[in-house]
Amino acid sequence: MINYEIYIAIAIMAGVNLFTRAFPFIFFKNHEPPSAILYIEKYFPAVIMTILILYSLKDINFDVTPYGLKEIGSVLFTAVLHLSLKNYLVSIFGGTIFYMGLVQYF
Amino acid sequence: MMGYLVLGFAFGLLLVSFKYDWYLAPLMSLFIYAGALQFVAIGFFNAKVGFIDIAIASLFVNIRQSFYGLSFLKRFRQTTPFKKYLIFGLTDETYALLTTIKDDKKLSKRHYYFFLTALNQSYWIVGSTLGALIGSELTFNTKGLEFSLTALFVVLCIEQYKNLQNVYPFIIGFFASVLALILVPTDKMLIASILIALILLFFFKQRVEND
């Protein structure tokens, strides 16, 4: 994107982001939200996080060596790190450094 | 709070590693102020994603925040003149902090909430600005740095599972993504995955809720 497109994109994201935060305060001040909205709000965060993992890895080419093994290995490494140490900064940085090591030296 | 400083730093570093101007980092942290979305935004810029797709994707990436607001409808009463800012600043981190602290009678609630939220955002802005500035000066091999995005989502995904203890949403997310990867070009993948996942989520509503 060129700069003015980036500014528009930032404005859109700022607006939409504020909307998601203000949404309940605008619409559900005095009455309960419909069950479909409660359902999406409860389960969709888990869905979108799974989607975002795959989305961030969408450019892997499984046809050439090492067939995405570096990425899959780093995802597993990050997950194990997070499950064992339970510190999200350690997990994010540990996982990233692990992956950078793999792609830069192997 | 330290978390925001460090995570913001990573965001700034990643942003300038794709040769974007450093000042976009504080600009985004000031006006968007959403961790996951700002990381995803870098991908939007790179892939030249259309504006409507950006709007829809942002909505669903951040829909979890509507849930935060619902549980704060009561607690944010009598917080004027700070209420608008408190709503704007209700990020994952701030939500987590506000839910773990108890309201103290000796302290003014609205000031306390306000300072906590403002301090959080300051850390985020300072972290991301430093990351962007230092990143533009340093010339080290940033190959693979984009994995910080994946790692962030892996962590958030695990946290979601701890809260939910239900495997179906993750299966739905996985299949929706794989299906989208097969069916549409990669620049439309995110939006297609979201739509497929929404359909699946309602199609299997009983399954999901009865788990």
In a domain, residue B199? The reply is no
Instruction: Specify the pLDDT at position B3.
Output: 81
Instruction: Specify the pLDDT at position B28.
Output: 97
For residue B30, give the chain A residue with the closest CA.
Answer: A14
- A residues 38-67 lying closer than 8 A (beta carbon) to B: 39-59
How far is CA B42 from its chain centroid?
13
Instruction: Specify the pLDDT at position B158.
Output: 95
Instruction: Specify the pLDDT at position B106.
Output: 67
Domain ranges, residue B119: 2-144
Instruction: Specify the pLDDT at position B162.
Output: 93
Q: Choosing among B23, B61, B159, B194, which should be mutated to test the A contact, i.e. which has the most A CBs within 10 A?
A: B61
Q: What residues of B are in contact with residue A104 (Cβ under 8 Å)?
A: 141, 143-144
In a domain, residue B56? The reply is yes
| Average pLDDT, integer, range B159-172 | 94
Please report the DSSP string for chain B in residue order. Answer: -HHHHHHHHHHHHHHHHTT--TTHHHHHHHHT--HHHHHHHHHHHHHT--HHHHHHHHHHHTTHHHHHHHHHTTTTTT-TTSHHHHHHT--HHHHHHHHHSPPPSSS-HHHHHHHHHHHHHHHHHHHHHHHHHHHHH-----TTTTHHHHHHHHHHHHHHHHHH--SHHHHHHHHHHHHHHHHS-GGGHHHHHHHHHHHHHHHTHHHHHT-
Number of domains, chain B: 1
- Name the residue among B43, B66, B173 with its Cβ closest to that of A48: B173
Q: What are phi and psi of B97, to 5 degrees?
A: -65, -45
Task: State whether A92 and B155 contact (CB < 8 Å).
Answer: yes
Instruction: Confirm if A58 and B110 have CB atoms less than 8 A apart.
Output: no
Task: State whether A1 and B45 contact (CB < 8 Å).
Answer: yes
Task: State whether A10 and B28 contact (CB < 8 Å).
Answer: yes
Does A27 touch chain B if contact means CB atoms closer than 8 Å? no
pLDDT of B211 over the 80 cut: no
Residue B54 corresponds to which tokens in the numbers above?
């950006």
State the nearest Cα–Cα gap between A64 and chain B, in angstroms. 18
Q: What residues of B are in contact with residue A88 (Cβ under 8 Å)?
A: 3, 155, 159
Per-residue pLDDT of chain A (106 residues; tens, 9 = 90+): 888 999 999 999 999 999 999 999 999 888 888 899 889 988 999 999 999 999 999 988 888 878 899 999 999 999 999 999 999 889 999 999 999 999 999 8
State the nearest Cα–Cα gap between A94 and chain B, in angstroms. 9
The ipTM of this complex is 0.92
- Residue type for A6, please? I
Task: State whether A44 and B60 contact (CB < 8 Å).
Answer: yes
Interface contacts (A, B; CB < 8 Å): 249
- Name the residue among A45, A56, A71 with its Cβ closest to that of B160: A45
Rounded to 5°, angle at Cα A47 from A42 and A53 = 140
Instruction: Specify the pLDDT at position B78.
Output: 83
Mean of the per-residue pLDDT values of chain B: 91
